[in-house]
Structure 1
Amino acid sequence: MSSSAMAPSYAAVLRTRYACRTFGAALLGRLSYGMVSLSLVLAVKEATNSYAVAGTVIALFGLTSVFLSPTRAGLVDRYGPRRALLPMATAYALLLTGLAFAASWSGVSGVLLGVLAMTAGASTPPLGPVMRTLWSDLVPDKRLLQRAYSLDAVAEELLFVTGPLLVGLLVRVTVPSVGLAVSAVLVLTGSLALISSPAVRREVGHKKPSAVPASSEGLVSTVRPAPLRRRSLQGGPGLRQAIAVSAGVGMCLGALDLLVIAFADEHHAPEAVAWVLAALSAGSAIGGLIYGAVPWRASSRLRLSCLAAALGLTLAATGLSPHPYVLIAWAALGGLFVAPAITTAYLIADEAAGPASRTQAGAWVNTAFNAGSSGATAATGLLVGRLPLPVCFALAAAPALLSAATALNHSRRPAAVTAALPEREGTSDTERVPLNG
């Protein structure tokens, strides 16, 4: 049964042909990403007995993974998931296994661990962007695509909660380096299962423009008109908005992690940290599921501006909490806007990008989020202790508010400009399209 014939529901998304198999494979591989960071920190700390070395190694791993993500996604767009993912996943799994063996030696060189971590980060397979590109073809009906992206965002949120819990269970029964080995097995198994899916074998997610005859698939990049080719790589204002808001949301959340710890210390309630972060994740999951079920009539770009503004205002108000219990409530409220904002950013990126660069467009959104989170965490560390916490919370909220204001301004372009833009599958990135949940 085609997705277009189904009622718009989460069950309908999962009943779509090949959806469960493909999504399950991607989630299995992405569980590795929820485990690897904590496993790496614990393994390096045990091997070197140095928090400084552990921090440096994880920073090298994260930087190469985040900033090379669009490049790796571009390879997927160019060569297809089957040809690009296999070498990446194999190299990544082998390097993680090498890290696990190296970290099992007491007194191992921190330089060796850093080189292995940096190389592993550079080869991280972009399973998230690939899956989101596959969703846009598995579920071509726009009524279901919003639900598919919401489901994907919620599942990813839960993976990053489940992953550290699994690492905690592992370290109770074995050494931390085993967590790295398990991460390697998960990513390789998930990647192999993903590329063996019929959805990938028929190269769903790597479609060429419909205007080009099937016999000309190998010549698409040369026969497409030059203006459209340039636009497909740039993505236009829609993609820039998605990247800007994603970075703003990432900065809010990166700052919040550290601010919550400082708030708990100030109120002598260290146990509140776990509850606040759990409330944020729970709110995000609930918000994502609700958001995906609503038949929105406002344009996706206007919705993204409103979501970013709501998150920023909530975070600013969170800094005025008089008690950790109030902070928990505000965190749950703010979480309601996180998954919807990221979901909408990915939807806009998919609509704005050209057919040959959709995986790369999604990777840019993901990179912006992670880079914003890392940068804000570092910046917040310099502010905490020098400024009152309410001021720090307000400053942490500023990126989301500014990105929302900028995006709102871009979404009000003259109609003549909007009409001049090329459409993808009958939908421009500024067109008001009802996305029935």
Structure 2
Amino acid sequence: MSHNVSLADYRAALTAPGARGPVVAAVFARLPIAMVGLSLLFYVQRVTGSFAVAGLVSAGALIGTAVGSVLQGRIMDRLGPSRPLLAASLLFAGLVAVAVVAVESHASTPVLLVLALGVGMTQPTVGSASRALWARLLPAGRARQAAYNYDAISIEVFFILGPGLSGLLAGLPWAGTGLLISAVSQTLGAIGFALTRTVRELRPLEQTGSKLLGALASPGMRTVALAAMGFGVVIGFVEVAVPAAATAAGHQPMGGVMLSIWSVSSVIFGVLYGMRPWPRPMHLRLPVLLTGFAVLISLSAIPSGLVGLTITLLIAGMMITPQSTAHSTALEQVAPPSTVTEAFGWVITAVTLGLAFGQSVSGYLVEHVSVSSAFLAAAAAGLVIASLVFVFRGTIAAGVPAQKKDHALAS
């Protein structure tokens, strides 16, 4: 069930007993969420002079993140978040240090790729732990919904700031500055989060369901992951097509600015949408939001210059945060409580895989067909996946049987 939230609900959530320490630490842990991979890409490109090598290394980090978010989530569900986050943070810091040495030593591409995979896998998944924390700190209702909205909106803000900061830091005399600063912030933030009293006192819930499939044992969870993947696919297409459109128009620097602009509209509308979400039933909300997103993206295929494209992106961007929030909220309905951290990891993985697919296909289309074809393909992919989510909507409506939820929460 969804709830309308007000600004007072956000305040109640963020000032709840035990919330302040984790919230502050999570800011530093999640601020570099869009910086590590991009800073690594800029760093490798500056040192090697090859965009091909840099792109391969960046893709390795992306794949590592997709795998690591689920693995770390599953471990945290079984052991509690503190010890896994501390271990991941130390491994992450160590691997980043080794990666820096490898880049400076002009190591071979396979070595850089393996290290990038390791860096991605060990990035501490504070986002998953934070999302699970709200379910333990706040009772079901408007304050908890506001907390989920805050998580989605804050991540969007970090995605706005991250690329810009990475670009600025990449221009400094040492190209690895961005990677170092983002890694330090993420490591210290994650350690600080893990050591707060609230997080240390969290105990794992009794495990239920399939140990092999984990959260994906729930049919509704698989449908939510499908919706998240569709969301990632559409964004992946756009993240390549927009810079390509700006480059073709002779204004290459505008590409990043335009992507930041659509994120701004996403944050603003996300706050307003949380106050009166529509459609109310989650099993309808997921396919409707993805359909709306795909339809609005199709408008970007209409030739209108960079000004027209910016306007269409502003409009389409309004659908981003509502979808992120819906994915997070839906987990409460479909994921067994004992797998809630892993479940959010699957959402991250689904979005990441969708991004990788969308970016790769979009890159081919803008180079061999046209920029407009990439926007049309994004819309088509979004509509196809939205249709599948609609077909399987019953799995979300069914959710997790109440008796299972009650049993897990009681333990």
TM over 0.5, shorter chain:
yes
CA change 1:100–1:232 in 2 (3 A) is closer
Change (3 A) 1:376 1:8: same
Alignment of 1:102-121 (within 5 A): 102-105=102-105, 107-121=106-120
Work out whether 1:243 is the aligned partner of 2:225: yes
1:25–1:190 Cα contact (<8 Å) kept: yes
Larger radius of gyration: 1
1:332 corresponds to 2:320:
no
Question: Is the 2:39–2:179 Cα contact (8 Å) retained in structure 1?
Answer: yes
Please tell me whether residue 288 in structure 1 is matched to residue 296 in structure 2. no
Distance 1:191 1:346 in 2: 21
Instruction: Kindly state the Cα deviation for residue 170 of structure 1 after the two structures are TM-superposed.
Output: 3.2
Aligned-partner Cα distance in 1 for 2:366–2:166 = 30
2:409 maps to: none
* Distance across 1 between alignment mates of 2:401 and 2:293: 30
Q: Post-superposition shift, 1:420?
A: 9.2
TM-score for the superposition, normalised by structure 1: 0.84
Q: Which residue of the partner structure matches residue 389 of structure 2?
A: 407
C-alpha spacing 1:179/1:262, structure 2 compared with 1 (3 Å): closer
State whether residues 132 and 340 of structure 2, in contact with CA within 8 Å, keep that contact through their aligned partners in structure 1: yes
Change (3 A) 1:158 1:354: same
Q: For residue 335 of structure 1, report the CA deviation from its aligned partner.
A: 0.8
Tell me the CA shift for residue 189 of structure 1.
Answer: 0.8
Distance 1:246 1:7, change over 3 A: closer
CA displacement at 1:71 relative to structure 2: 1.6
Please report how far the alpha carbon of residue 168 of structure 1 lies from its aligned counterpart in structure 2 after TM superposition.
3.6
Work out whether residues 97 and 180 of structure 1, in 8 Å CA contact, stay in contact via their aligned partners in 2.
no
TM score, norm. by length of structure 2: 0.89
Equivalent residue for 2:401? 421
Q: 1:424 to 1:232 in 2, by over 3 A?
A: farther
Could you tell me whether the CA contact under 8 Å between 2:226 and 2:385 is conserved in 1? yes
CA contact (8 A) 1:153 1:339 kept: yes
Over the residues paired in the alignment, what is the CA RMSD in angstroms?
Answer: 2.7
Question: Take 2:44 and 2:252, find their aligned partners in 1: how far apart are those partners?
Answer: 25
Q: Distance in 1 between matches of 2:306 and 2:396?
A: 47
Moved more, 188-197 or 228-237: 228-237
Larger displacement relative to structure 2 (262-271 or 79-88)? 262-271
Does the residue aligned with 1:356 lie in a helix, a strand or coil?
A: helix
Indicate whether 1:24 and 2:24 are aligned.
yes
In 2 relative to 1, CA 420–22 (structure 1 residues): closer, same or farther, beyond 3 Å?
closer
Amino acid at match of 2:316: G
Does the 8 A contact of 1:97 with 1:184 survive in 2? no
Kindly state the Cα deviation for residue 265 of structure 1 after the two structures are TM-superposed. 3.9
Contact 1:9 1:293 in 2 (8 A): no
Between 1:356-365 and 1:235-244, the stretch displaced more is: 235-244
Figure out how many residues of one structure are paired with residues of the other and give that number.
Answer: 401
Map of 1:187 onto structure 2? 186
Q: Which runs of 5+ in 2 are unaligned?
A: 1-5, 407-411
Contact 1:61 1:118 in 2 (8 A): yes
Q: Is residue 69–residue 363 contact of structure 1 (8 Å, CA) maintained in 2?
A: yes
Contact 1:284/1:336 (<8 A) preserved = yes
More contact order relative to length (CA 8 Å, sep ≥ 6): 2
Gaps of 5+ in 1: 1-5, 209-219, 427-437
Percent identity, please.
28
SS at match of 2:35: helix
